[in-house]
Structure 1
Amino acid sequence: MSLFVEFHLIQNFAPSNLNRDDTGAPKDALFGGHRRARVSSQCFKRAIRLNAAAAATIPAQNQGVRTKKLKQLLETRLTVLDRPEAGVQIEAALAGAGLKLKEDGKTEYLLFLGQGEIEAFAQLIHKHWDALAAAPAPDAKKSKKEAKASLPPEIVKEAKALLNGQKAVDVAMFGRMLADMPGVNQDAACQVAHALSTHRVEREFDYFTAVDDKGDADETGAGMIGQIEFNSATFYRYAVIDAAKLVGNLHDDRELALIGIRAFVQAMARAIPTGKQNTFAAHNPPSFVGVVLRHASPFNLANAFERPIWPKADKEITTLSVEKLAKHDAQVSGFYGDGKDVWAYLDMTGAWPGDKGEVQPSLDALATWVETHVRAELGA
């Protein structure tokens, strides 16, 4: 049976510019015919990954890293293994896996690798040190296929087999795609939607000046002037984890999958993008965090806000948003659900119906609830 772990959040941010476009303006989108504030899924996914790493809720060996500096990481690890000056061996080993380094020592494109994959490469190089040292010097004119052909077949086979995720939770969650190496692609077990404001927004401008602390008496005016665009919005955030897919991506390690799901509950609620935070300090936690276990199919409830929320004198926009979210879920699940949805939630607004799931006293309690129920569903 399919099991989808869904996350529905209502989060109001003070004036901020958390995720900006190429002009420096806060990202936005048209939805329901009205301009909405937007924070991209990529932005929130990075914030979630970094939050989970900082909180150490996932074992270090099961974390991932996104980088072009694989050679540098391997050099550091090989120095610990008493294998200094490993440049030739590293390039040869990476060529065996189908990866090529540019003249600056970086990979051709950004890689999303598990720490276990990096460690496995270091061990491969350590094991085949002499054979890799004897490999022909890398040639920028050679194709990747030609570079592989110059290595012993057993090394090529081992190198290619290393890129299997090595149980990196964030790689298993968010997936990866390398166009020229489809064999190492990983379909994501987690999908994250772009966060959209539940109401209309207008961009605002902050005109600022900076004074020269060492200015002379005859030097009037500012030492610098400029402007920053910002907005303030109540966002609806949505994500869903396919629990069975996550277990499969982690090589059927159910316990690690449960650790990953618990960590995601915590990070989804705590993670806040870092854009312009030194200017705005918009550290505002969600007013509502709802988690629902579904079986029929996942339901993004953004259409609850197709008609934007309008302010009322006696209610906060967050409260109105939670009310509308609950009403829309009842309609959607009534039409398309299987009657087996199970909710748990944190609610600072008091607007979520008391008979719709189990209220939790804290984020940690919510994470425990999710872990317990998913464990029961998976039979772990």
Structure 2
Amino acid sequence: MIIELHLLQSFPVSNLNRDDVGQPKTATFGGYTRGRISSQCLKRAARQLFTDFGLDKSETAVRTKRLLDRAVAALTDRGRDAELASQVVTAGLQQLGFGVDENKGLTQYLLFVGQHAIDHLASYCDNNWDTLHGIATKAKAVTAKAKSDNEKPGTNEQRKSGKVAKPDKAAIAEARRILDASRVSDVALFGRMIADNKDFSVEAACQVAHAISTHAVINEFDYYTAVDDLKPREESGADMIGTIDFNSACYYRYANLNLEQLAHNLAGDQDLINRTARAWLYSFIHAVPSGAQNSMAARTMPDTLLGVVRDRGAWNLANAFQRPVTDADIMAASTERLTHHFRQLRTFYGNTDLRDIAAASVTGDVPHFDDTEIVAGIDDFTGRVLTGATA
């Protein structure tokens, strides 16, 4: 069973997701430049809302390189010496197969882990304190000797990279417990890939497309000045000058959720599966990227919503906008394009795999759907989709 979510959302002056030079991200589609919001940006915006829509914080994850610092803090709270704890946790992470940059105190990779991971890591280090302390002491002695012997070029670089030997079976079992995501909703949804050990990877249950504008865009910039409030009146001129890039666009957003994969990732816990699906749906509808919001406040809601429950397959409807919309009423024209394209796909490929459909609009105008498929509000929309997915 698959849930598909299609949204049309218009943003005024905004820079929701910027590129490496500070401009709003773009993409070329259908031969025209479009505004773009990356899938990673949309996922993060949605993740931050999960606890607002029914998930407990303990059922969500963190993405971090700072497990070492947090585990050290936990051990310090248990009465361990902070300096020794840092050495022990570093040795513990390396024994478990996680590279550590000892100069920065960070893991080699960003790790996507449940809230429990810090406590589990701290407990592992606490329970194996003497062994890990011995390993850390030995490593420290080897490093000191290498420095006194004027270590060969490359040795220090290898040490900084945090590369470690492959862990034994016992260490793998402990690492699996620390990385367990069977009750971590966002890891179950968005997956996890650990290059050094694919046994710890999780296949994502959710796919998210980059949002693209339904029309062509040209990025603009705001030239601004600021004046020193305490400057004497006789002095004129600005005390700061700069520019901020922005655009205005109506975006087509698409995401889907494979409920079978979600159930597998969450070990069949039906209550958690249902609450995760509900949080996913509400969060993606309400998700707004945080980029430049303090200066632009582009906090709008989707205008047109389409939810599809299907037994298999997936239809991203972006090709409805391969030819950019040029009408004066961009939202109305985009809605017409979206719904017409969906009707064409239904006519050509058939309704066999479609289990239920819910369409809604803030304005109430949703062409090309039967009255039985149109709902009036957000709760009716989400209720229809979730009920169709569990029926």
TM-score of the superposition, structure 1-length normalised? 0.89
Residues in 2 aligned to 1:158 and 1:128: alpha-carbon distance in whole angstroms: 12
Alignment of 1:167-206 (within 5 A): 167-206=183-222
- Check whether the contact 2:100–2:163 (CA below 8 A) recurs between aligned residues: no
Residues in 2 aligned to 1:156 and 1:199: alpha-carbon distance in whole angstroms: 50
Greater shift, 342-351 or 65-74, is seen at: 342-351
Alignment of 1:1-380 (within 5 A): 3-53=1-51, 55=52, 57-83=54-80, 85=82, 86-102=85-101, 103-137=103-137, 138=139, 144-146=163-165, 148=167, 154-312=170-328, 316-341=329-354, 342-353=356-367, 354-355=369-370, 358-376=373-391
SS of equivalent to 2:100: coil
2:143 corresponds in structure 1 to none
**1:295–1:146 CA distance, 2 compared to 1 (3 A):** closer
Greater shift, 129-138 or 210-219, is seen at: 129-138
SS of equivalent to 1:135: helix
Residues in 2 aligned to 1:81 and 1:359: alpha-carbon distance in whole angstroms: 57
**1:359–1:130 CA distance, 2 compared to 1 (3 A):** farther
State the Cα distance separating 1:136 from its structure 2 match.
4.0
**1:136–1:84 CA distance, 2 compared to 1 (3 A):** closer
State the Cα distance separating 1:263 from its structure 2 match.
0.3
SS of equivalent to 1:225: strand
**1:183–1:154 CA distance, 2 compared to 1 (3 A):** closer
**1:337–1:247 CA distance, 2 compared to 1 (3 A):** farther
Kindly provide the amino acid, as one letter, of the partner of residue 245 in structure 2.
E
**Which runs of no fewer than 5 residues in structure 2 stay unpaired?**
141-155
Residues 58-101 of structure 1: per-residue CA shift (max 9 Å, x gap): 12221010111111222333345555532233223212221122
Residues in 2 aligned to 1:350 and 1:322: alpha-carbon distance in whole angstroms: 11
Residues 319-377 of structure 1: per-residue CA shift (max 9 Å, x gap): 2111211110111133234434211233113231451654444333433333333222x
**1:277–1:59 CA distance, 2 compared to 1 (3 A):** same
SS of equivalent to 1:134: helix
TM-score of the superposition, structure 2-length normalised? 0.87
Kindly provide the amino acid, as one letter, of the partner of residue 369 in structure 1.
R
- Check whether the contact 1:319–1:349 (CA below 8 A) recurs between aligned residues: no
Residues 5-29 of structure 1: per-residue CA shift (max 9 Å, x gap): 1000000001111111111111111
Residues in 1 aligned to 2:132 and 2:371: alpha-carbon distance in whole angstroms: 61
Kindly provide the amino acid, as one letter, of the partner of residue 366 in structure 1.
F
Residues 91-142 of structure 1: per-residue CA shift (max 9 Å, x gap): 2321222112212211112111122333332332343334333334346756
SS of equivalent to 1:231: strand
State the Cα distance separating 1:219 from its structure 2 match.
2.2
**Which runs of no fewer than 5 residues in structure 1 stay unpaired?**
none
SS of equivalent to 1:323: helix
**1:146–1:239 CA distance, 2 compared to 1 (3 A):** closer
**Once the two structures are aligned, what percentage of the paired residues are identical?**
40
Kindly provide the amino acid, as one letter, of the partner of residue 273 in structure 2.
A
Kindly provide the amino acid, as one letter, of the partner of residue 24 in structure 2.
P
**1:286–1:146 CA distance, 2 compared to 1 (3 A):** closer
Residues in 1 aligned to 2:236 and 2:291: alpha-carbon distance in whole angstroms: 32
Residues in 1 aligned to 2:256 and 2:172: alpha-carbon distance in whole angstroms: 37
Residues in 1 aligned to 2:372 and 2:279: alpha-carbon distance in whole angstroms: 21
Residues in 2 aligned to 1:300 and 1:27: alpha-carbon distance in whole angstroms: 20
Kindly provide the amino acid, as one letter, of the partner of residue 295 in structure 1.
D
SS of equivalent to 1:343: strand
Residues in 2 aligned to 1:340 and 1:14: alpha-carbon distance in whole angstroms: 37
Residues 219-275 of structure 1: per-residue CA shift (max 9 Å, x gap): 211111111121111110000111101111112223212111100111111111111
State the Cα distance separating 1:203 from its structure 2 match.
1.6
Q: CA RMSD in A?
A: 2.3
Residues in 1 aligned to 2:358 and 2:213: alpha-carbon distance in whole angstroms: 23
Kindly provide the amino acid, as one letter, of the partner of residue 65 in structure 2.
K
Kindly provide the amino acid, as one letter, of the partner of residue 208 in structure 2.
V
- Check whether the contact 2:182–2:188 (CA below 8 A) recurs between aligned residues: no
Residues 167-212 of structure 1: per-residue CA shift (max 9 Å, x gap): 2111111112222222211121111001011111122221111111
Residues in 1 aligned to 2:9 and 2:213: alpha-carbon distance in whole angstroms: 9
- Check whether the contact 1:295–1:338 (CA below 8 A) recurs between aligned residues: no
2:145 corresponds in structure 1 to none
- Check whether the contact 2:223–2:243 (CA below 8 A) recurs between aligned residues: yes
**1:156–1:300 CA distance, 2 compared to 1 (3 A):** closer
Count of matched residue pairs: 367
